[in-house]
Structure 1
């Protein structure tokens, strides 16, 4: 892939930032009822007197949650693809999100977990164990961890974990209602309190992933060449993977298992800024935030006055893209 000039890459970053700002405004303005700009400004100033201002006040934390979760999933997907050199890598496809979901549901159903912070720790642990399991299964047999083997292992693991989640929830009427919508993945019911609880975990994950950009560039050259350049391959891969797992676990804990954002966004960003992770990672975060926020807006508009959860909208976008990637000839490695 041809190297993109720094000016072009900077332009794409600015355009992505502008697109994110636009969809954030749309997220506050549009829904079951439209809110004029004057009411949005009043809500930002703390007013909550009219129906429009009340709607805007409710939508602001929802918009912020969609932004941070979308950025986390987009960035985690780019890092996972870099760590595994797998164009099919995605937190949803590799079973990471569903592993986090199963861990949370199991802890709530059998161990009485009720602490919001506990949700996050358990989700991160489940995401890490799921990622390790899928990677181990994907390395079995000839050829090691090929993209197709990892994708198949992840898909099988996701299906198995989803069935286990249903098996745990269905007999428990006391938790079934609260987890049914969470299973689909969505940002409804957001609050700044929930965002504040997950923010430290996301901040650490963002920092680790962004600081791993140079190491991921070295890993893209191959393990032997990266080691020859002085890179500690195993450490670099483990640290970057830790950042991605933190992002996936925290995002799943607060918004449920949302798939395909981490698949669609990094591939789009490579077309725009190339394969240099110093540019790819921040752009993936921005476009991931924009995509998830836009998907939430679409889900609120197309089914007025009801809503379609954002996890369903992203699946409708991502599933055809996944099929396209699988059918490409050059799917063996990045």
Structure 2
């Protein structure tokens, strides 16, 4: 005999399910408005405040001889666009990593992916000082694969090394090692100033020329993620479940890893290391819309971009009128979130 479920729980559960069905559409419908608001705020506020008339005139009637117009079109608008793209890429990368590994602490910054990309860009600047944008991005892609490979390779060799907390510890150790190697190379070859951008995530120095090629790679990464979303949903429920439903888990993991490599590699090439976006946003999105990756991926992209844009705005006022690296803001939010997850869910893989 099955226990009877009280009506109050049925009603509550039914309302929750209905909310999770409609909430993704509400998020995506609200996305254009939220993005426009973040772009406007990003253009208007900074070391130099811009009034609405100046912003409107710069966007509609650009005057190359006007310094304020140059700041808006040449710096703040690309920065706003880049921040939204980077936040989206990191959030989707984190969601994919958590989905294919079953590790709720997986994210590009904790699994050595961003550190591998940053080291690869350092090597690129050493061996190819005049490297093109595409060449730097290619190095970044390879570096992200190297970082993730080292972490998961070591995790498979250590007893219970693939459990969430232990894998996060291995990722932190590996990331610190890769960062140390990059710093040592930069100091020895006197290029520390050149690579400081990638280690401090100075979004105000984002190169607008990187945005066009970045869009192509990010579109490919998002497309791959959406294409594999149904299979990743099944895999996130457990590898045994996915296998029993006829999924080719090795292929799914490889495809998802390719998307992570593209998205994280481009994000690091654009702005350097930015932590915790890929950890925080996927958890919030799954809480809001459920575990179906057809919904998780687009919602993570939207909320990830808005989160990083908001963090970037906040970073401008922490030490006004000087810029604070956006990674400081994301760390202030991300570290307590990480500790909360580690304490609440423990170190077991299936916690």
Q: Which residue among 230, 233, 237 is the counterpart of 2:246?
A: 230
After superposition, where does 1:160-175 map in structure 2 within 5 Å?
160-173=177-190, 175=191
For 2:329, the equivalent position in structure 1 comes to 313
Output the TM-score relative to the length of structure 1: 0.93
Output the TM-score relative to the length of structure 2: 0.89
For 1:25, the equivalent position in structure 2 comes to 40
Shift of 1:315: 1.5
> Given the alignment of the two structures, is residue 67 of structure 1 paired with residue 67 of structure 2, yes or no?
no
After superposition, where does 1:1-334 map in structure 2 within 5 Å?
3=17, 4-48=19-63, 49-57=65-73, 58-112=75-129, 114-143=131-160, 145-173=162-190, 175-329=191-345, 332=348, 333=350
Question: What are the superposed Cα offsets for residues 222-269 of structure 1, whole Å, 9 maximum, x if unpaired?
Answer: 222212212111101110111011100111111101111100111111
* 241-250 vs 296-305, greater mean Cα deviation: 296-305
Runs of at least 4 residues off by over 4 Å: none
Shift of 1:110: 3.8
Write the distance in 2 (CA, Å) between the matches of 1:108 and 1:50.
35
If asked which structure has higher relative contact order (CA below 8 Å, sep 6+), I would say: 1
- Structure 1: gaps of 5 or more residues: none
Shift of 1:217: 0.9
Write the distance in 2 (CA, Å) between the matches of 1:98 and 1:190.
19
Write the distance in 2 (CA, Å) between the matches of 1:55 and 1:301.
18
Shift of the 141–307 alpha-carbon distance from structure 1 to 2, 3 Å rule, reads closer
Write the distance in 1 (CA, Å) between the matches of 2:66 and 2:50.
10
Shift of 1:89: 0.6
Aligned partners of 1:259 and 1:314 also within 8 Å: yes
* 135-144 vs 178-187, greater mean Cα deviation: 135-144
Q: Give the superposed CA RMSD.
A: 1.9
Shift of 1:68: 0.7
Paired residues, number: 333
Shift of 1:67: 0.8
Shift of the 24–231 alpha-carbon distance from structure 1 to 2, 3 Å rule, reads same
Write the distance in 2 (CA, Å) between the matches of 1:74 and 1:84.
16
* 51-60 vs 13-22, greater mean Cα deviation: 13-22
Shift of the 5–310 alpha-carbon distance from structure 1 to 2, 3 Å rule, reads closer
Aligned partners of 2:110 and 2:172 also within 8 Å: yes
* 300-309 vs 128-137, greater mean Cα deviation: 300-309
Shift of 1:171: 2.4
- Structure 2: gaps of 5 or more residues: 1-12
Shift of 1:20: 2.9
Aligned partners of 2:217 and 2:263 also within 8 Å: yes
Write the distance in 2 (CA, Å) between the matches of 1:76 and 1:54.
33
Give the structure with higher Rg (CA): 2
Shift of 1:7: 1.9
Shift of the 236–93 alpha-carbon distance from structure 1 to 2, 3 Å rule, reads same
Aligned partners of 1:75 and 1:284 also within 8 Å: yes
Question: What are the superposed Cα offsets for residues 169-228 of structure 1, whole Å, 9 maximum, x if unpaired?
Answer: 11233x221211321113222343211132221111111112221011110222222122
Aligned partners of 1:29 and 1:36 also within 8 Å: yes
Write the distance in 1 (CA, Å) between the matches of 2:53 and 2:326.
27
